[in-house]
């Protein structure tokens, strides 16, 4: 039997001082929601935590997410299980109520890893995933036009059977070009998990995580026997030294406590074990 664990983050970046405690409270709530489902398995816990954060308007995922250069919300999400390396992602979504639900549906369908745009929305409708009018995601246009950093939410869970799962969701970068896809729906870049070693997800400048393949690098280091704390710190050092990029990571190893490291002014996170 493994010791269950869950770690959740609400994005890394220059969070306004007035919002820090509010964002932390949102992340704490997500941790509690996810932890309440840990008995259902790692996937359920990670997905429910992220799904909750898609409903927290101060976090950059789902409702309240940042706006692209056309002034609309485009959402990405990804999910992965470490037992058999199943993964699913969805990108450039405008009308899917909970992007993480669609990522799970893509993973469970199994034919593809990533769907984007109108094709992803059509698949969501065919699978009975909840849809929404795009206007539901805009709650405070002025604030959403100014969001900096804090660009992803994520969760990594380990259950009593030793299964590990990761879930990620994001609105991306403020002012991004329509159709931009970041690291959040891409296994190996923004997230990766293998039950034999551990699971990770990142937040920060998505293009940097993609260029470095950072999530996969972290799991390879766990595979080589590097301790979890050193892997997390080393990843953020690498992110800064190689590309001068801001970001943070959370990590759950096969054994031992979760880890969180970031090089930004803030990254609200919470854990349970």
Q: What is the pLDDT of residues 157-195, one digit of tens each?
A: 999 999 999 999 999 999 999 999 999 999 999 999 999
What pLDDT does residue 154 have? 98
Domains observed in the chain: 5-272 (3.60.20.30)
CB-neighbour burial class of residue 137 (10 A; exposed 0-12, middle 13-18, buried 19+): buried
Tell me the C-alpha distance between 165 and 224, whole Å: 20
**Percent with pLDDT over 70 in the chain:** 99
Q: Which of 141-150, 155-164, 263-272 is predicted with the least confidence, judged by mean pLDDT?
A: 141-150
With CA atoms as reference, report the closest residue to 182 among 161, 152, 226, 147.
Answer: 152
Query: Read out DSSP for 147-185?
Result: --S---EEEEEE-TTS-EEEEEEE---TTPPTT---STT
Rounded average pLDDT over 115-141: 97
What pLDDT does residue 151 have? 72
| pTM greater than 0.85 | yes
Cβ atoms of residues 68 and 57 within 8 Å: no
Residues with active-site annotation = 152
Residue 26 has pLDDT above 90, yes or no: yes
What pLDDT does residue 255 have? 97
With CA atoms as reference, report the closest residue to 93 among 110, 71, 109, 73.
Answer: 73
Residue 79 has pLDDT above 80, yes or no: yes
CB-neighbour burial class of residue 126 (10 A; exposed 0-12, middle 13-18, buried 19+): exposed
What pLDDT does residue 143 have? 84
Residue 220 has pLDDT above 70, yes or no: yes
* pLDDT, averaged across the chain: 96
What pLDDT does residue 190 have? 97
């Amino acid at each position: 039997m493994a010791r269950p664990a869950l770690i959740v983050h609400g994005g890394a970046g220059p969070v306004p001082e007035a919002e820090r405690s509010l964002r932390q409270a949102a992340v704490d709530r997500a941790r509690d929601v996810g932890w309440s489902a840990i008995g259902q398995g790692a996937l359920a816990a990670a997905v429910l935590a992220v799904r909750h954060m898609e409903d927290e308007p101060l976090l950059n995922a789902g409702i309240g997410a940042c706006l692209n250069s056309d002034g609309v919300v485009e959402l990405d999400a990804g999910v992965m299980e470490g037992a058999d390396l199943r993964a699913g992602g969805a990108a450039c979504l405008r009308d899917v109520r909970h992007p993480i639900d669609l990522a799970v549906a893509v993973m469970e369908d199994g034919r593809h890893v990533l769907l984007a745009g109108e094709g992803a929305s059509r698949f969501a409708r065919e699978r009975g995933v909840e849809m929404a009018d795009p206007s539901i995601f805009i709650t405070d246009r002025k604030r959403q036009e100014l969001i900096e950093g804090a660009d992803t939410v994520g969760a990594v869970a380990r259950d009593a059977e030793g299964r590990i799962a990761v879930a990620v969701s994001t609105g991306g970068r403020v002012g991004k070009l329509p159709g931009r896809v970041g690291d959040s729906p891409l296994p190996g870049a923004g997230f990766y998990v293998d039950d034999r070693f551990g699971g990770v997800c990142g937040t920060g400048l998505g293009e940097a995580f993609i260029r470095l393949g950072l999530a996969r690098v972290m799991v390879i280091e766990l595979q080589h026997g590097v301790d979890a704390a050193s892997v997390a710190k080393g990843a953020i050092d690498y992110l800064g030294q190689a590309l001068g990029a801001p970001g943070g990571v959370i990590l759950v190893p096969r054994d031992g406590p979760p880890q969180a490291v970031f090089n930004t002014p803030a990254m609200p996170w919470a854990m349970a074990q």
